[in-house]
Amino acid sequence: MSLHVRDVETRFRTASGEIHAVNGVSFDVGDGELVGIVGESGSGKSVTINTILGLIRAPNTISRGVATFGGRDLIAMRSGALRKIRGAEIGFIAQNPFGALNPVLRLSRQFENVVRAHRRIDRKTIRRQALDMLGHVGIHQPERVLDGYAHELSGGMAQRVVIALALMLDPTLVVADEPTTALDVTVQKQILDLIAALVRERQRSMLIITHDLGVVANYCDRVVVMYCGRVMEDGPVREVFRRPYHPYALALLRSVPRAGQSLETLGGRLPKLNAEPVGCLFRDRCPQSKDICASVTPPLREVSPGRKVACHLDVETEVPPLVAG
Amino acid sequence: MTSPATGRDTGPADAAREALAPPAPHRGRAFRGMVAKRLAFIPLALFAVITISFLLVSIMPGDPALAILGSTASEREVAKVRGELGLDRSLSERYITYVGDVLQGDFGRSFFTGQPIRDEIVKYLPASIELVVMALAVASLVGITIGTAAGYFRGRAPDRTVRVAIAGLEAIPGFLAGLLLIFFLFFLWRLAPPPTGRLGIIDVYPPPVTRFLLVDLILAGDWNGLRSALHRSMLPVLTLALGAIPLFAKITRTTVGNAMGSKQIQYARACGLSEWRVVQYALLQARTPILTYTAMLFGAMVGGSAIIETIFSWQGLGQWGLKAIVALDIPAIQGFVIVTGLFTMLVYLVLDLVVAALDPRIRHG
């Protein structure tokens, strides 16, 4: 099922003032589409997802905007109704399986708890389905894994269990928050291949949050580039990676290490988010910034079909191409 | 779920077979090793407690002979009593004799009552344990409940209410709480019996089988006696519990509150688990700290509730120990120190075993 996010805002009220973590984020995840949200730490990508899924429970939090999923607005929804969607219609793959799985409950119990939170199914059936699903995610001794605990597994296997849990109720959208950051490099590719294959095979939609441009390039159809709680650029992965329009997206792609070339880095630092953001938040680090960038917030506008950029520049002429010359 | 081949295609066999836990026969070895290590530690610690209790009392100011005879006694009388008590021998000689006696279960006789200390301990310790168990049961029930509510709603109205209640309870000293409860519940409203011991004058004490009064009453089938004893336990248990409730509430509030912000709970919510289940997961995380706290309180309160036991004439270990200290009854003080020390060690041992048994990461090595 498709997800349409419009103007989502999240602010945390703290003792030292308000933190504007997410400042009007809009994007879409179409049917059967794999969308990657990229951004550095603190860009608000996780907060955006947690806002949409109703996972932010801290007091003094203000959330605004619309997130339509299957015709229902998740942000306006009451917490009880949203709970029934989480896990059943939207599967969640956590970043660190050992932080997510319960260390003192047998995995069979955790499968039961997840399924029974949504369906009235007897234990035997759940067990059969869980064994089946564990087989699907490439676990060879599902019986032993199911009757054991999380700490008995390697990182890769634990993440496979989390994937199995996410897919147990056959959700129409899968959300993966940095699904491989906590894993060994050698296992990362296997896990991503597995997730992508399972989602494509079932023709489900998927949202991957990552700071790894390689993950986006290899697995996603579309990319949403976030910076300081705003969407900077949104478009098909191939096009954006060949010719980024937003100066930030350009800087991000140029900072990917390439063999035989010196590493390009971006000067400056992230602006503080404790005031109502005005203008373009990237302007201080942007080599092409103009006067208007400080006073007017650039809207996310469609530059060419399927490609959106939040920039005042005439991006096709004023922003240099990825590879100079 | 179309083709089961997906798993095989995407996850090479070797990768999925990486490092399962060691096979079943090896499980539990670490646990047994831990038990053995803890048990081996007990005699060592016990020896230290005996030594400390001996030295502590030997270097205490005041002459026990004078304490027994009074300040008007002549020098000859004092010397005679000192000889009878063995106080004229050297410290090392007395130490060796003492350790030997204690290891045989002989704690000596009270300077004042002449009773063997062991008999007195057997008489008073069960009463204290019963009091503390009841008080901790009440306090943990109330404290964990309000602590969980506060931790779950951290920073909101229920949390603020609980914090005010905790601060209020903490501000009232135990003896004052006891006296206030007696004043209102007994004296004014007659809701509780007088604080005159564990049974009324007309109640008959059951034959001492376990020496735990409540257990003995049940064994004797004396239901009226049991009702009377429980009724009379109300005020002391409540008084002691009031002191422990803030401690339970605080540790629970902190651990549950932290658990609520953990990745594990966030993931549980992301899976759509109900809030009841989420609280259950949070309490599972808080289980070990709460158990540790309970054991610490248990060890400290048995023998450490002297004032409350005295107020309610409970005839417990604390009351007995306090009397011994005031009277400078050296064998009794030494016995008190050793018993409370040993008791605390045993409680901690049980705690370690329970925590290890509850945690699969320790249980299965």
Q: Do A100 and B267 touch (CB under 8 A)?
A: yes
Contact B226, B137 (CB under 8 A): no
Last residue of a domain, one of A126, A143, A165: A165
Residues of chain B with C-beta less than 8 angstroms from the C-beta of A176: none
The label of the residue with tokens 């901690």 reads B348
Q: Do A85 and B272 touch (CB under 8 A)?
A: yes
Tell me the nearest-neighbour CA distance from A53 into chain B, angstroms.
7
Of B181-190, B283-292, B310-319, B354-363, the one with minimum mean pLDDT is B354-363
Contact B358, B350 (CB under 8 A): no
Least CB-CB distance to B13: which of A140, A149, A175? A140
Please give the residue range of the domain that contains residue A31. 3-89+169-318
Please give the residue range of the domain that contains residue B50. 36-106
Rounded to two decimals, the ipTM of the complex is 0.92
Q: Do A100 and B11 touch (CB under 8 A)?
A: no
Domain annotation covers residue A82: yes
- Taking only the tens place, the pLDDT of each residue in B147-162 is 999 999 998 999 999 9
What SS3 class is residue B348? helix
| B10 pLDDT above the threshold of 60 | no
What is the identity of the amino acid at B144? I
Question: How many beta-carbon contacts under 8 Å exist across A and B?
Answer: 139
- Regarding whether B308 and B224 lie in a shared domain, the answer is yes
Cβ neighbours, 10 Å, residue A22: 28
Residues of chain B with C-beta less than 8 angstroms from the C-beta of A104: 284, 287, 358-360
Last residue of a domain, one of A111, A141, A165: A165
Residues of chain B with C-beta less than 8 angstroms from the C-beta of A202: 2
Domain annotation covers residue A95: no
- Most B CBs within 10 Å: which of A144, A152, A187, as the mutation test of the B interface? A152
Residues of chain A with C-beta less than 8 angstroms from the C-beta of B275: 83
- Regarding whether A74 and A194 lie in a shared domain, the answer is yes
- Most A CBs within 10 Å: which of B6, B9, B153, B271, as the mutation test of the A interface? B271
- Regarding whether B207 and B300 lie in a shared domain, the answer is yes
Last residue of a domain, one of B78, B106, B134: B106
- Taking only the tens place, the pLDDT of each residue in A59-77 is 788 889 999 999 999 999 9
- Taking only the tens place, the pLDDT of each residue in B17-57 is 444 544 444 456 777 888 888 888 888 998 899 998 888 77
> Using CB atoms within 10 A of its CB, is residue A99 exposed (0-12), middle (13-18) or buried (19+)?
middle
Nearest residue in B to A187, CA atom: B15
- Regarding whether A310 and A223 lie in a shared domain, the answer is yes
- Tokens (6 digits) for B331: 């064998």
Last residue of a domain, one of A138, A165, A192: A165
Residues B112 and B141: their CA atoms lie apart, in Å, by 41
- Taking only the tens place, the pLDDT of each residue in B74-114 is 888 888 888 877 778 888 888 898 889 998 889 988 888 88
pLDDT more than 70, % of chain B: 92
- Taking only the tens place, the pLDDT of each residue in A80-115 is 999 999 999 999 999 999 999 999 999 999 999 999
What SS3 class is residue A210? strand
Domain annotation covers residue B251: yes
Residues A187 and B31: their CA atoms lie apart, in Å, by 32
- Taking only the tens place, the pLDDT of each residue in A209-262 is 998 999 999 999 999 999 999 999 999 999 999 999 999 999 999 888 877 777
The label of the residue with tokens 């509150």 reads B257
Residues of chain A with C-beta less than 8 angstroms from the C-beta of B18: 154, 156-157
Work out the pLDDT band at B365, boundaries 50, 70, 90: low
In the sheet with A17-29, reading across from the earlier edge strand, the strands are: A17-29, A3-14, A61-69, A72-73
- Regarding whether B136 and B278 lie in a shared domain, the answer is yes
Q: Do A138 and B16 touch (CB under 8 A)?
A: yes
Domain annotation covers residue B111: no
Q: Which residue has the higher pLDDT, B1 or B125?
A: B125
- Taking only the tens place, the pLDDT of each residue in B205-237 is 888 889 999 999 999 999 999 999 999 999 999
b/e string for A282-311 if b means 16 or more Cβ within 10 A? bbebbeebeeebeeeebebeebeeebbbbb
Helices (H) and strands (E) in chain B, counts: 17, 0
- Regarding whether B126 and B208 lie in a shared domain, the answer is yes
Going B55 to B57 to B60 to B63, the CA torsion angle's sign is negative
Length, in residues, of chain A: 325
Least CB-CB distance to A151: which of B8, B287, B361? B361
CATH number of residue B206's parent domain:
1.10.3720.10
Nearest residue in B to A177, CA atom: B267
What DSSP assignment string belongs to B319-345?
A: HHHHHHHHHT-HHHHHHHHHHHHHHHH
- Tokens (6 digits) for B17: 């077979």
- Regarding whether A287 and A192 lie in a shared domain, the answer is yes
Q: What kind and span of H or E run contains A201?
A: helix A185-201
CATH number of residue A293's parent domain:
3.40.50.300
The residues near B227 (Cβ < 8 Å, ≥ 6 apart) are none
Give CA A250 to chain center in angstroms: 20
The residues near B167 (Cβ < 8 Å, ≥ 6 apart) are B246
- Regarding whether B174 and B61 lie in a shared domain, the answer is no
Looking at the structure of chain B, the number of domains it has is: 2
Q: Which residue has the higher pLDDT, B71 or B339?
A: B339
Q: Do A88 and B272 touch (CB under 8 A)?
A: yes
- Taking only the tens place, the pLDDT of each residue in A287-305 is 888 899 999 999 999 999 9
Nearest residue in A to B270, CA atom: A86
The residues near B265 (Cβ < 8 Å, ≥ 6 apart) are B259, B278, B281, B282
- Return the closest-CA partner of residue B257 out of B120, B361, B159: B159
Looking at the structure of chain A, the number of domains it has is: 2
- Regarding whether A137 and A250 lie in a shared domain, the answer is no
Domain annotation covers residue A136: yes
Q: Do B269 and A60 touch (CB under 8 A)?
A: no
